[in-house]
């Protein structure tokens, strides 16, 4: 049997040895995103791609890879891959369905607390030698507030559980209404409009697809509870930068916590547009640059699951297929 070639794109150097030791039967090639995009023909004979969300695979790119059998994405989401084109080319796709549901839920509350307690502004205030309380940085309690969770999956469930610890009221919108979850976690499934109109905090935990793209739009803005805080640790395109800016300017939105932003790929590549610039430097916005998942424990889970995905495929028993 011919030795299979695995191309690892943007894999952190400290994890390379894990793949080399776990998959000694394969030939391993490592490159950056930039090297990959600039030298597609150099890698045309690889059988497996191991990549992350910033590595988009289109039907044009697929035309170069005649021997490609599997793409493993080191993420739960896979909207960076052209699944229709991959299906036509009979290329399998595996993902990491579970690695950071606790991690991302915890980060969600880090953003909420940062906005509700003005931690960034207070730190800056104290760094200037001002150590007394300042009325300009008056915080807010979470206790008794209503949090609207859009997406009742694994991350959403963990957000609900954390919210209960703050004695918050919880509204949930999901196309699948889980009555058991409603009873166990003491939350309430509602329509999207009801959630928008009645939430002090709205946090997004839904995948990006044709039905969720721009989920909160111009019409939604008029429904938002005045003074609402918006948190997005899912995908930037769930809510546009222009809507967030408009909501902030009209004092409909009091604060925004973003781990992701519309046009994130272009931003990473240095193509920051005026709306992004304005949003990222807005005093009522916290941006953490797609780090919600980024803990040691979560990264370890990503690598171990990816290794199992690749190994299982090589052994003829593929797992975690999308």
CB 68 within 8 A of CB 46: yes
Strand, helix or coil for residue 30: strand
Residue among 136, 148, 260 nearest 195 (CA): 148
Task: Give me the residues of the chain with pLDDT under 70, please.
Answer: 1, 121-136
DSSP state of 216: B
Domains, the chain, with CATH or none: 5-99+297-314 (3.40.50.720), 101-287 (3.40.50.720)
pLDDT at 127: 60
- Helix spans in 49-201 (H): 59-62, 83-88, 101-116, 119-127, 154-165, 179-184, 192-198
The span from the CA of 34 to the CA of 130, in Å, is 45
List Cα–Cα distances, 244 to 214, 281, 305, 312, in angstroms.
11, 13, 36, 43
CA distance 194 to 91: 42
**Per-residue CA distances from 232 to 121, 156, 201, 289 (Å):** 21, 12, 11, 11
Are the beta carbons of 158 and 105 closer than 8 angstroms?
A: yes
The b-or-e profile of 284-317 (16+ CB within 10 A means b, else e) is bbbbbebebbebeebbebbbebbbbbbbbbbeee
CA atoms within 13 A on the CB side of 19: 27
Predicted TM-score of the model (pTM): 0.82
Active-site positions?
235, 264, 290
User: Tell me, what's the pLDDT at 31?
Assistant: 96
pLDDT of res. 165: 95
The two structure tokens encoding residue 279: 């949003």
Q: How far apart are CA 124 and CA 231, in angstroms?
A: 22
Instruction: Please list the residues that pair with 256 across neighbouring strands.
Output: 230, 285
- 109 within 8 A of 85, measured Cβ to Cβ: no
Per-residue pLDDT, 265: 79
The helix (run of H) or strand (run of E) holding residue 71 is strand 70-73
For residue 304, what is the enclosing H or E element?
Answer: helix 296-314
Closest CA to 216 of 164, 254, 182, 253: 253
In Å, what is the CA distance from 41 to each residue of 9, 45, 68, 72, 170? 15, 8, 13, 20, 52
Residue 264 belongs to what H/E stretch? helix 264-268
């Amino acid at each position: 049997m011919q030795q299979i070639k695995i191309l690892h794109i943007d894999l952190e150097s400290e994890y390379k040895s894990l793949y080399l030791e776990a998959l000694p039967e394969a030939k391993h090639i490592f490159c950056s995103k930039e090297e990959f995009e600039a030298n597609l023909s150099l890698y045309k004979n690889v059988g497996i791609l191991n990549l992350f969300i910033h590595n988009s695979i289109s039907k044009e790119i697929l035309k170069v890879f005649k021997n490609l059998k599997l793409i493993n994405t080191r993420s739960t989401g896979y909207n960076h891959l052209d699944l229709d084109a991959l299906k036509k080319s009979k290329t399998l796709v595996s993902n990491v369905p579970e690695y950071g549901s606790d991690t991302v839920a915890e980060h969600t509350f880090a953003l909420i607390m940062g906005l509700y307690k003005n931690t960034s502004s207070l730190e800056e205030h104290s760094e200037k030698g001002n150590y007394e309380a300042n009325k300009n940085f008056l915080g807010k309690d979470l206790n008794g507030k209503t949090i609207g969770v859009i997406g009742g999956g694994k991350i959403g469930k963990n957000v609900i559980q954390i919210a209960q610890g703050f004695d918050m009221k919880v509204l949930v919108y999901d196309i699948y209404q889980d009555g058991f979850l409603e009873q166990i976690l003491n939350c309430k499934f509602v329509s999207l409009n009801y959630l928008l109109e009645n939430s002090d905090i709205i946090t997004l935990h839904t995948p990006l697809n044709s039905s969720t793209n721009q989920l909160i739009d111009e019409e939604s803005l008029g429904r938002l509870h005045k003074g609402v805080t918006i948190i997005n640790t899912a995908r930037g395109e769930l809510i546009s930068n222009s809507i967030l800016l408009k909501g902030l300017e009209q004092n409909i939105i009091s604060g925004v916590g973003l781990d992701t932003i519309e046009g994130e790929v272009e931003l990473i590549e240095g193509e920051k547009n005026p709306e992004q610039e304005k949003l990222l430097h807005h005093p009522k916005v916290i941006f953490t640059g797609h780090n919600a998942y980024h803990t040691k424990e979560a990264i370890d889970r990503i690598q171990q699951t990816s290794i199992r995905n690749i190994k299982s495929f090589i052994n003829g028993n593929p797992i975690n297929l999308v």
